[in-house]
Structure 1
Amino acid sequence: MPRFRMTVEYDGSNYVGWQRQDNGPSVQGAIEKAIVALTREPVLVRGAGRTDSGVHARGQVAHADLSRQWKPDTLRNALNAYLGQAREQVSILEAAEVPDEFDARFSALRRHYLYRIISRPSPLALEAKRAWWVSKPIDHEAMHEAAQILVGRHDFTTFRSTHCQANSPVRTLDRLDVIRNGDVIEMRATAQSFLHNQIRSFAGTLKLVGDGRWTPDDVRTALEARDRKACGPVAPPEGLYFMQVDY
């Protein structure tokens, strides 16, 4: 059975997350339904990472085993046609046949995420559900300084959900940069893998630094506490984007 890799973009606003669940529509489920409509065969789609409800993706990667050969562009276009007919907010950007040993999740070397904050007095209209609106000024340079404390290999117990199923809280964070372009503050994170709610926990904690309530030393203290109670608030999901996977 040929295996196909798909690069997927989606607006997560109306989904319970990437993973198929009983309590509402999922991105995984939408793609699986499109494949069934095309092939008339049930199929399991596996993603590179699970995103929560409200989280978006510009470069999620998934794979599926199909029973027949497809030209990659034909497969992409056909799936997008079915997704469009179903009014799903999901788009297949690329499709490619890959070796059987390729696994969207376990073959990944690095994952890249973006968290967007828009700092301005007026509420968001066009960007509603696309960013975290913060009405007061934020010092992104202070946020970036504090973010560097988190880069490297650490026990990130403070910054992971109590529901996280990972075997270990230890992760190596390759990059955590905070930059600003006008009203938009972007936090970009790179690692081989992340813990549940880790990036949103980073964003909420660093926002405390940006608005002057915490210092970089407070972030270091929180990290070293290895205690979820030491974390700042978890940032809302609408600012988070799964950007890219490296293989």
Structure 2
Amino acid sequence: MSVKQLDINGFVAKQDWGSSKFIAPCIFYAYPDPPNPSGTNGSASSTATNKDSSPGVSISPQKRALLIFICVPVSPGKSRLIWSFPRNFAVWMDCIIPRWIFHIRQNLILDSDLYLLHVQEQKIMEFGPSNWQKVCFVPTKADALVVAFRRWLIKYSQGQVNWGDKFNAAALPPTPPREQLFDRYWSHVVNCLSCNSAYKALNLTETVLQIMSIGIIGVIGLTKQATMTTVQRSALFSMAILCFVASKWVSHFVYKTFRYHDYNHAFK
């Protein structure tokens, strides 16, 4: 990985699998380079060219994907992250699988990474933005993007966001409780139509399962023993227990997925 260009507008980096670009002040995107059909010389042979351009031959479009991050500073210690993963293949998955299913895994990664960034920001502010190397150990080529961004930030923004008179850039808010720091409902679910719909539907499912459990127990208690065999009574009782256990599982799943999910990190 190497940085090819760095100026006031951002920087461009080249990686083994593709390229990436930072557009100042808050947009970053990466994409894989298209395969070279001619090998390593960069020019297609005349035979291949004639074959591809023959009448009646349909050329399938290349699979392309793009990873876009837009990180907007909101206030000292807080940012709004917007990301997208557009592609021109396997789009049928988006029509069948609800978006909130994908968001489960993605939120696990983002929440964990953002917590480490939160701790890192506190450490950098402690040593000063210009001394960030004392806080971050970046010895590998994979860290080239981090180094390039820090170089750009120091060169063109004095190492930190210029908040003007609105905020004090030298003061970060104290670290909130982990339940607030990892809160997922107000930071994502309430703003995501798919996750919000799933949250309401699963809460309704939990309530229905609890009502079914209580209702079945009520039926067993009110039904005369002579009108129900022991096998039927045992089956209904087992169903009531299953409904109750399922409601507890749904409650736990909803809380960890849409409310708060704690982690074990290297920094606490």
Q: TM-score, normalised by structure 2?
A: 0.23
- State the structure with bigger RCO (CA 8 A, min sep 6), 1 or 2: 1
Bigger-Rg structure (1/2): 2
Q: Which has the higher helix share?
A: 2
Q: Name whichever structure is richer in strand by fraction.
A: 1
